[in-house]
Amino acid sequence: MVDAKMLNKMSSAPGFIAALDQSGGSTPGALRLYGVSETDYQGDEEMFRLIHAMRVRIMTAPAFKGDKVIGAILFERTMDGDVDGEPVPSYLWEKRGVVPFLKVDKGLNAEENGVQTMKPMPDLDALLIRGREKGIFGTKMRSVIAHADKAGIAAVVKQQFEVARQIIAQGLMPIIEPEVSIKSPTKEQAETILRDEIAQQLDKLPAGETVMLKLTIPTVADFYASLVAHKSVVRVVALSGGYSTADACEKLSHNHGMIASFSRALAENLRVSMSDAEFNASLAETIDQIYAASVNKS
């Protein structure tokens, strides 16, 4: 059974979800954007230490709190880490009012039928139990859609919902993330197929079972309105997908009922060389910008 207070916040509070879940493959890119090059560290342990320090700097910034940032998605190592001596999940919820989520996928398979499904997760139940014990509310898992291939998209959605049911069974809230690449030459057509496949799977969920959806901002504004309104959907959140902060916020502002769950766009203007005052001011400005796009719809 999911935490009732966290569920209430996630289903109704204004704000957005911060994605702080870059893992092994995407960490070097996140650090480069932050101003830390591969020559500045040696090996994975030092790399993860540096990305954790960046995340702690974000999480402890004055503007990073539950009045605008209602949730945060964590990498497994971040979940296991500390902030000022306190476990990250409890720090986020108890000190910041931010609902903690955990990224659980293990990366992507090679592209087939225009999509990349998720790699097997044989230890998922153990990870879910550990996450629940640490105070995690829900999970996130990502697939990628590159082309409007009906069989491929159906396979992605089917796999996502199969894993989602496993997560629900452990008392956690799944965020289903079938990302449509913003570089796809058939993005709009892929979104049509995706919406229909998701709707079919949602209709199959037993009464009382709910999920969240994390989707690429659609080409057509309000295209996912029917999913936003579905009885089995707690919230629909948008990924930035490589758009700049300004572009992602502008596009999101036209999609009623969708809130942001940005990663790169959240940290786009942050640099390791900034003073704490500069860092906090820059992050506060970005948080205000993303919050406005999530709440104030045109």
- Among residues 177, 179, 191, 197, the one annotated as catalytic is 177
CA angle, 165 then 166 then 172, to 5°: 85
Asked whether the beta carbons of 68 and 16 are under 8 A apart, the reply is: yes
* The 3-state secondary structure of 135-170, one letter per residue: CCCEEEEEEEECCCCHHHHHHHHHHHHHHHHHHHHC
- Among residues 9, 103, 214, 251, the one annotated as catalytic is 214
Question: DSSP letters of 65-123?
Answer: STTTEEEEEE-HHHHHSEETTEEHHHIIIIIH--EEEEE----BPPPBTTEEPBPP-TT
Partners of residue 20 on adjacent β-strands: 74
What are the residues whose beta carbons fall under 8 Å from the beta carbon of 31, sequence distance 6 or more?
37, 40, 41, 47, 50, 51, 54
The question of whether 9 is a catalytic residue gets the answer no
Asked whether the beta carbons of 233 and 227 are under 8 A apart, the reply is: yes
Asked whether the beta carbons of 64 and 58 are under 8 A apart, the reply is: yes
Asked whether the beta carbons of 178 and 157 are under 8 A apart, the reply is: yes
The question of whether 214 is a catalytic residue gets the answer yes
Asked whether the beta carbons of 182 and 242 are under 8 A apart, the reply is: yes
C-alpha distances in Å from residue 90, one per residue of 200, 246, 297: 36, 32, 32
What are the residues whose beta carbons fall under 8 Å from the beta carbon of 262, sequence distance 6 or more?
16, 18, 19, 238, 239, 240, 245, 248, 290
Active-site residue numbers? Answer: 177, 214
